[in-house]
Amino acid sequence: MFARWILPVSVRSNRVPVALILLISLSVCSELKVRVRLSDGQITEETLEADSEKDSITVEFKQGDGTLITFVADFKRDVKIFRSLILGELERGQSQYQALCFVTRLSHNEIIPSESMARLRQKNPHAIRSAEERRGVEQLTMNMAVNLSKAWQLSTHIHNMCSEAQESIYAREQDVKHWLDRGVEGSVFEILPPTVDTTELQGCPSTRDLWQPCACSYSLRLEWYPCLLKYCRSRDAAGRSSPYKCGIKSCSKGYRFDYYVPRRQLCLWDEDT
């Protein structure tokens, strides 16, 4: 088992030390660092932060190529945000790094609640973790742009996370329709040119002119995150059993984002193989 919980101690005993009670009640924001094995075999340190007051979870790690991946689950607004800070290719005219942000709806039971994450502790912080369940790749067509100055209507986390992305903040139409139904203003979004079922826009791997628009694809994988709670059972003096939280199940999941870019230079990683 990868982790243990602080809270179940209080469930099984009425004589809880005062210090433990204070730790639980004051633990609004917590941080956990986990060593994770990436798909290419390299080891990275992943940081998981839980803020039970804001009801959010942040997962952040660096890939082998230096790309910094940040994922935020905003439970208050049912929004999840992916940000990639990609090292630029200076010899090809790019800046030091390129920022991308993808905003989608957060579904129930995708990741454990923030209050549970805040209480998560490791038995062995030096262990190298691999996910118990390796899930497939979810493909998302991101055909809408998000206006950064008005993105607070979706989630207050977007402005802080995606300020460097500026015009590279993407959403998908089906999520936008849901948010509009919930009262988000239409001016938050802008329709992008279609990237599928069209002969007018080439894929970036087939576009040789760096200043021509094209359909870009970007992939990432969350290598390790707590996706489900585990429950154990205890028995009292009368022999009655009751469940309590005793750990987590870890998952790995991939994402592929397809979206429009106004020039090929913004999608140099998407090459012919």
**What residues are paired with 251 via a beta bridge?**
133, 225
pLDDT at 241: 76
Q: How far apart are CA 193 and CA 177, in angstroms?
A: 17
For 120-177, the pLDDT digits (tens) are 888 888 999 999 999 999 999 999 999 999 999 999 999 999 999 988 999 999 999 9
3-state SS record for 23-61: HHHHCCEEEEEEEEECCCCCEEEEEEEEECCCCEEEEEE
pTM of the model: 0.83
| Domain-wise residue ranges, the chain | 3-267
CB 188 within 8 A of CB 150: yes
For 9-68, the pLDDT digits (tens) are 333 333 333 232 323 334 467 899 999 999 889 999 999 999 988 999 999 999 998 999
- pLDDT exceeds cutoff 90 at 185: yes
Q: Report residue 182's pLDDT band, with 50, 70 and 90 as the boundaries.
A: very high
pLDDT at 198: 62
Q: Report residue 92's pLDDT band, with 50, 70 and 90 as the boundaries.
A: low
Looking at every residue in the chain, the average pLDDT score rounds to 84
Residue 77: phi, psi to the nearest 5? Answer: -110, 0
The closest alpha carbon to 48, from 71, 25, 26, 68, belongs to: 71
pLDDT at 147: 95
Task: Please give the DSSP secondary-structure letter assigned to residue 143.
Answer: -
